Amino acid sequence: MYSIETENLTKKYGDFVAVDHISFKVEKGEIFGLLGPNGAGKTTTIKMLTGLTPPTEGDAVIAGYSIRKNPIEVKSRIGWISSEVILDDDLTAWENLEIQARLTGVRNWKERATSLLKYFGILDFANRKTGKFSTGMRKKLEVSMALLNSPEVIFMDEPTIGLDVNTRATMWNLIREINRDYQVTILLTTHYMEEADSLCSRIGIINKGKIIALGTPEELKSRYGGDIIEIELKNGTNVNVGFENAVVTNGKVRIKVSNAETMLMDVIRAIGNDNIKGIKINKSSLDTVFINLTGGTIEEQDFDARRFYAMIRRARR
Amino acid sequence: MMDRLYALYMREAKRIFRSVYMWIMLISQPIMWLVFFGSSFSGVPSQVLTSFFHTTNYIAFILPGELSISMLFVGMFSSMSLIQDKRFGYLKRVLITPTPKYDVFLAKTLGGMTRGLLQVPILLVASYFLGVRLDLTPLSLGVLFLSLAFVGIGFSSLYSMFTLKTADWQAPGVISNLINLPLMFSSTALFPKAFFPGWLRAISDVNPLTYAAELNRGMLLYNDPSWNYLGYLAMFALVMVLLGSILTNKYLNAE
């Protein structure tokens, strides 16, 4: 039984393909992560799945309804949490909940809202304006609002972006708890490897609009993982490393090996003591999966956001 | 479903009622009009006033006009509110729910109307203290509010239509510049059309502000209202709301 099934879902802005024929399935009750750098197409995917923007091509079935044919049915069965917290700060928490309840057509919303606020420990603040809330409380209120209509699926767009370490840990627990206690399927997007690794039962790695790998974190690590030795060079311009799977960028050599500890001495010998500024070893992780799949780190894949938005704006006209 | 429109409208209303600056604006703007602009003819001999304005008090003449102009000016706030919702992402929150887009439009329009109608009692009281005596009956008050509601709905819709596709803060100011002044001065809200050139009179004759000003002047000052003017205003509001709803469903962007 799937909560989300996408089939060749595509979004084009003019000539620019933001999401390129992605197909994946998310089982009911799963926490599924879309992992990728900024601009990979994560947010656009969520926009299509929540009905904010129509797909250019392909379709998705959410909670049994097609986003093309029955967008209203889809919308009444989903919840959404934005990357930036979106509340009406001139209104109280309770008033924000009331609007959300009426917009989603929830009947006994007062009981539901009370129990949710109690569950998240913010019932005492119900009648305060949300403008005075801390970021953690605002996130909790937003999650309560997303759960108000007892959705089958909740979409979370970069749920922990901009949060400090403590709040992020709290948010992770919260995501696990609502997934367990409210039996809700969660699709989240993130560019934090450790977030995807720790939260998600399955992950789709997305880069430049395409899903390039799909599986559980363990599957991905064993299939695309491997240790990585990274050596910072003193003279990075002219090196002949002589290893397979070696990539030289920005004065750094990255070498993929099966076991870093046993290979390290060979690598040092090949490059030469004199030319080494620093050595870093990455044991197999989603980071290494990403590097192996794309040839760069997730930071390096970050693209020119300004160019991207200019392109979208042009296409809208 | 009315529930959705109700929720969105209540949000607009609460935001209006809770803003101190909004109250300062609501109270000061119309009163400044009456006091400063209204006093500009106070030295005119009363025969002149009677023959051109059919009243001895210019403030009484412009009061119905100024009430109509107030309803024109509040239109800007509906489109500002819409742009604010785009900027802060709130519109995304709304459009991810099963809420039809035209509900967003209607809530903004009704919000603008509410804001304008709040000025009516303020102006009536202020004019009393400025020596204006009006023919206030339940009927005349009812017609006054109804006709001004039509004007408010019509112009709020018009404003929102122009800013459906933009998220630029500057847009409402530009639109208001292009709409407010021509409509205000081409109406009979401030001056009778006796001295208008032909082309201005032609605009004046279709301008809803003229109809609102004349209807309420007839009602409050001369006890001789032209009822078909009320019908004209109702049609204006209806056409604008329908047109706005259709355009919103087609063109409203969440961002």
* pLDDT of amino acid A309: 65
A212 in any annotated domain: yes
CA dist B93 to A51, A81, B64, B96, Å? 11, 9, 40, 6
Inter-chain CB proximity A86 and B8 less than 8 Å: no
* pLDDT of amino acid A68: 95
Inter-chain CB proximity B96 and A95 less than 8 Å: no
Do the beta carbons of residue A60 and residue A4 sit within 8 Å?
yes
* pLDDT of amino acid A223: 84
The yes-or-no verdict on residue B23 having pLDDT over 70 is yes
B13 to chain A, any CB pair closer than 8 A? The answer is: no
A206 in any annotated domain: yes
Inter-chain CB proximity A99 and B7 less than 8 Å: yes
Do the beta carbons of residue A205 and residue A35 sit within 8 Å?
yes
User: Averaged over A7-34, what is the pLDDT?
Assistant: 95
If asked whether residues A73 and A155 sit together in one domain, one would say yes
Quote the strand ranges of A143-224, DSSP E: 153-157, 185-190, 202-207, 210-215
Do the beta carbons of residue B59 and residue B133 sit within 8 Å?
no
- Cα separation, A10 vs A15, in Å, equals 12
Inter-chain CB proximity B8 and A103 less than 8 Å: yes
* pLDDT of amino acid A254: 82
Highest mean pLDDT among A56-65, A159-168, B170-179: A56-65
Inter-chain CB proximity A99 and B11 less than 8 Å: yes
Count of structural domains, chain A: 2
The yes-or-no verdict on residue A267 having pLDDT over 90 is no
If asked whether residues A244 and A214 sit together in one domain, one would say no
* pLDDT of amino acid A281: 86
Do the beta carbons of residue A30 and residue A202 sit within 8 Å?
yes
CATH of the domain at A258: 3.30.70
**If 0-12 CB within 10 Å is exposed, 13-18 middle and 19+ buried, where does residue A111 land?**
exposed
A263 in any annotated domain: yes
**If 0-12 CB within 10 Å is exposed, 13-18 middle and 19+ buried, where does residue B22 land?**
middle
Report the mean per-residue pLDDT for chain B.
92
Determine the distance in angstroms separating the CA of B20 from the nearest CA of chain A, rounded to an integer.
12
If asked whether residues A213 and A162 sit together in one domain, one would say yes
Count of structural domains, chain B: 1
If asked whether residues A188 and A272 sit together in one domain, one would say no
State pLDDT tens for residues B228-248: 999 999 999 999 999 999 999
The yes-or-no verdict on residue A235 having pLDDT over 80 is no
* pLDDT of amino acid B124: 94
Q: Which of B97, B250, B251 to mutate to test the interface with A (most CBs of A within 10 A)?
A: B97
State pLDDT tens for residues A172-204: 999 999 999 999 999 999 988 889 999 999 999
The yes-or-no verdict on residue A241 having pLDDT over 80 is no
The yes-or-no verdict on residue A249 having pLDDT over 80 is no
Last residue of a domain, one of A221, A236, A271: A221
- Structure confidence at residue A209 as a pLDDT band (50, 70, 90): very high
* pLDDT of amino acid B43: 81
* pLDDT of amino acid A277: 86
User: Averaged over A106-135, what is the pLDDT?
Assistant: 94
User: Averaged over B195-205, what is the pLDDT?
Assistant: 92
- Cα separation, A25 vs A41, in Å, equals 17
Determine the distance in angstroms separating the CA of A72 from the nearest CA of chain B, rounded to an integer.
5
- Structure confidence at residue A314 as a pLDDT band (50, 70, 90): low
B81 to chain A, any CB pair closer than 8 A? The answer is: no
- Which residues fall within 8 angstroms of residue A166, CB to CB, at 6 or more apart? none
A67 in any annotated domain: yes
- Least confident window among A89-93, B159-163, B210-214, B222-226: B222-226
The yes-or-no verdict on residue A311 having pLDDT over 80 is no
State pLDDT tens for residues A272-302: 888 888 888 887 778 778 877 876 766 666 5
CATH of the domain at A64: 3.40.50.300
If asked whether residues A72 and A188 sit together in one domain, one would say yes
- Cα separation, B240 vs B238, in Å, equals 5
If asked whether residues A61 and A176 sit together in one domain, one would say yes
* pLDDT of amino acid A106: 94
- Cα separation, B199 vs B207, in Å, equals 13
User: Averaged over B204-222, what is the pLDDT?
Assistant: 94
User: Averaged over B148-161, what is the pLDDT?
Assistant: 96
- Cα separation, B74 vs B68, in Å, equals 10
* pLDDT of amino acid B151: 97
- Least confident window among A50-59, A264-273, B3-12, B117-126: A264-273
Determine the distance in angstroms separating the CA of A102 from the nearest CA of chain B, rounded to an integer.
6
The yes-or-no verdict on residue A317 having pLDDT over 60 is no
Q: What percent of chain B has pLDDT over 90?
A: 72
What pairing do the DSSP bridges indicate for beta strands A185-190 and A153-157?
A: parallel
- Structure confidence at residue A227 as a pLDDT band (50, 70, 90): confident
* pLDDT of amino acid B154: 97
A315 to chain B, any CB pair closer than 8 A? The answer is: no
* pLDDT of amino acid B107: 97
Residue holding tokens 């491997």?
Answer: A226
Q: pTM above 0.90?
A: no
If asked whether residues A63 and A26 sit together in one domain, one would say yes
Determine the distance in angstroms separating the CA of B10 from the nearest CA of chain A, rounded to an integer.
9
- Structure confidence at residue A221 as a pLDDT band (50, 70, 90): confident
- Structure confidence at residue A43 as a pLDDT band (50, 70, 90): very high
Query: Which residues of chain B have a CB within 8 Å of the CB of A88?
Result: 11, 15, 90
Query: Which residues of chain A have a CB within 8 Å of the CB of B1?
Result: 105
Report the mean per-residue pLDDT for chain A.
88
State pLDDT tens for residues B71-102: 999 889 999 999 999 999 999 999 999 999 99
| SS3 label, residue B123 | helix
Looking at per-residue pLDDT, the higher value among A271 and B185 belongs to B185
If asked whether residues A277 and A182 sit together in one domain, one would say no
* pLDDT of amino acid B51: 82
If asked whether residues A217 and A231 sit together in one domain, one would say no
- Cα separation, B230 vs B236, in Å, equals 10
- Which structural domain, as residue segments, surrounds residue A245? 227-283
- Least confident window among B34-43, B156-165, B182-191: B34-43
